[in-house]
Amino acid sequence: MNERTADESHLLTVNGLTVEYWTRRGKIRAVENASLTLDKQETLGVVGESGSGKSTLGMSLIRLVPYPGRIVSGDINLEGQNIRKMKDEEMRDIRGRRISYVFQDPMTSLNPVEKIKDHFVELIQTHEPKVSKAQALERANQLFRDVGIQQERINDYPHQLSGGMRQRVMIALALALNPSVIIADEPTTALDVVVQAKILDLLNTLRDRYGMALILITHDLSIVLQRSDKIIVMYAGRIVEYASSVDLYSSTQHPYSQGLLKSIPNIELLDQKLEAIEGSPPDLLNPPKGCRFWPRCSFAMPECRIEEPPLFETKKNHLVRCYLYKDETNDQ
C-alpha cells in the first residue's frame, strides 16, 4: 500500500515542504523548506504574522492549499503514510477522520442552511457509512457534552448560536471521528478574550482525553507560550526558530522571536515599554536577497545580506536560522 518511511517514530513528520502560489504576476513562495515533527499528545504552536505562511503550512498538511497554490516539494508523513503520494479518494477519507482542521471564523465555516445536527450526521455517515442516523446523533450528543454545549442547541442553525458556541461546534466536529491530529488555525481570533481562554483550555483538555496531537496556528505568541510543548516561529515563509516553548521563552535566539516576545504586554511589569518590530514583512514576489529578516534586524551583519542562513542547531532540539549562532551548532 503506502510506503513506510524511516521516521515511523513520530506521529507526523514534515520534511523540506515548499508551497508556492502561481499567480499571474509571478510565483510566490508561501512556505519554503519547512520541516517539523509532531508526536502523540503533543501541542505544536506555529507563530507568525499575516503572510508568514503559517496558514498555508497548515492547509498543506491536509492538501487543501487553495488555487493557485501548490505543494512543490517535500514530504509529509502521517503515521508513516506519505500524504503527498496518496490518491485523492484516500486523502478525502483522511480529512476529518485522521486529521481535522478547525478554521478561524466559525460563522463562515458552517453551512448556513443546515442544522447543526445535520452537520454531524453528514460527517459521520460519510466516513462511516454503516453508522445509523440515531447512532450518529448519539455520538454528537456525547461530543456536545465534551465541548460544553447544551444538548438542545443541536437542532439550531449556525446563525442562532453565539461565536463561542459555534467554535465549540467546530471543535466537536473536528473530534467526531477521533483523529490523530487536530490543526486549529487561529481558533480564537474571532472571539472575545474571555472566551478565548476557555476555548484554548478546552482544546488542551480534549487533547489529553482523546490522546491526539494538536497544532495551534496563531499570530499571538502569548497563546502558545503557555499551552504548547514546541513552537515554530515563521517569517516570510521560513521557519526561523524551532524550540520547545520553555526554551523559546527563556533563551529566545532569533531576533524576530525576540521582537515578538518583547511586544507581548506583561501585566507584572509596571514599566514595560512595548516594542514593536520596525518595518513590515517583505513582498514575497520579490524577496530580499539573503536572510529574509535582515532589513528589520538590529543585528544584521554583512553576510546576512548575501545568502540565507541555514538552520543551526544550537541545543538539542533548538533550531534557529540566524548567522549569529553559526558557531554554536551542536552538529555541523
Partner 1 sequence: MILILLTMVFLLIRVLPGDPVMLHFEKNANPVAVEQMRHQLGLDKPLWQQYFDYLLGIFRGDLGLSMQDYSSVGQQIFSAFPATLELAIYSMIIAASLGIFLGVQASKAYNRPQDHVIRIFGIVTYAIPVFFLGMVLQLTLGIGLHWLPVGQRFNPTIGIPQSPWYVDLNTPFSTALIPSLFKITSVHLSTGLYTFDSLLEGNIFKFVESLRYLCLPSLTLGLVLSGVFIRLTRSNMFETLRLDFVTAARARGLRETRVTYGYALRNAFLPVLTMVGLQFAALLGGAVLTETTFSWPGLGRYIVDRINFRDYTAIQGAVIVFGLFVSIVSLAVDLLYAYLDPRIRL
Q: Which residues of the chain form contacts with partner 1 (CB under 8 A)?
A: 62, 64, 66-67, 92-97, 100-101, 103, 105, 108-113, 122-123, 126-127, 157, 159, 170, 173
CB of 243 to partner 1, least distance (A): 29
Which residue, 108 or 280, has its beta carbon nearer to partner 1? 108
CB of 223 to partner 1, least distance (A): 21
Q: Report the chain's C-alpha Rg in angstroms.
A: 21
Which residue, 67 or 273, has its beta carbon nearer to partner 1? 67
Sheet holding 238-244, edge to edge: 99-102, 181-185, 213-218, 43-47, 230-235, 238-244, 318-320, 312-315
Contact 71, 32 (CB under 8 A): no
Which residue, 14 or 320, has its beta carbon nearer to partner 1? 14
Which residue, 66 or 265, has its beta carbon nearer to partner 1? 66
CA–CA distance, 318 with 248 (Å, rounded to integer)? 8
CB of 18 to partner 1, least distance (A): 22
| Crossing angle (nearest 10°) for helices 133-147 and 116-127 | 120
Which residue, 109 or 204, has its beta carbon nearer to partner 1? 109
Which residue, 109 or 329, has its beta carbon nearer to partner 1? 109
Residue among 313, 304, 293, 318 nearest 48 (CA): 293
φ and ψ of 266, to 5 deg: -120, 120
Sheet holding 26-38, edge to edge: 26-38, 12-23, 69-78, 81-82
CB of 96 to partner 1, least distance (A): 3
Residue among 217, 212, 215, 5 nearest 97 (CA): 212
CB of 82 to partner 1, least distance (A): 18
CB of 179 to partner 1, least distance (A): 10
